[in-house]
Amino acid sequence: MLRHNRLRLLLNKERPTLFEAASFQILSMNEIAEYKFVVADDGLKQEVVELLQQNNLPVTDLDDGKILFALLQKDKIVGTGGLELFNQCALIRSITVETGFRGKGLGKLISRELEKICRERGIDWVYLLTTTAKDFFINQGYRVISREEVPLPIKTTSEFSSVCPSSAIVMAKSLA
């Protein structure tokens, strides 16, 4: 029964637009916890940046061109994600989950929500760079690609060109 309800919630047809909040219920053992995935506005942005810093993720280039999101549980940030949007592609940034909330599927939830936002914007491909989460993203349907395969808009981002080390793994996923 719990598995059926979780699948039903993940397949919910109502999708939020880029700047609307979406509510989710993650079912685990005998409890239901409510989560909200929202754009990290000025009130949340500093807390998101702090969580990113705690997890050794880059923050030096965060500006208005990068959309940051927060996954909230009762107004507490338990996860983050980010996007840089271009015409036909996007760069996923900084998916992280608070240490005490890991292993509950929240990283997958954040990843899927970022992908939904991209689909709604007509984006066909998402890219990311990682030094530590290759296996996580492979399990989400991403594949490792060479730096030469990356489209120009992604290559010109600060994350690709200077923030992430050249040893970072580049990954891509088709949303079409």
Contact call for residues 81 and 133 (beta carbons, < 8 A): no
Mean pLDDT of 164-176: 93
Domains annotated on the chain, with CATH: 2-174 (3.40.630.30)
Contact call for residues 89 and 151 (beta carbons, < 8 A): yes
Instruction: Write out pLDDT tens, residues 88-132.
Output: 999 999 899 999 999 999 999 999 999 999 999 999 999 999 999
Quote the Cα angle for 114-117-122, to 5°: 130
What is the pLDDT, as a whole number, of residue 33? 54
Q: Write out the E strands in 61-135.
A: 67-73, 76-85, 89-97, 125-130
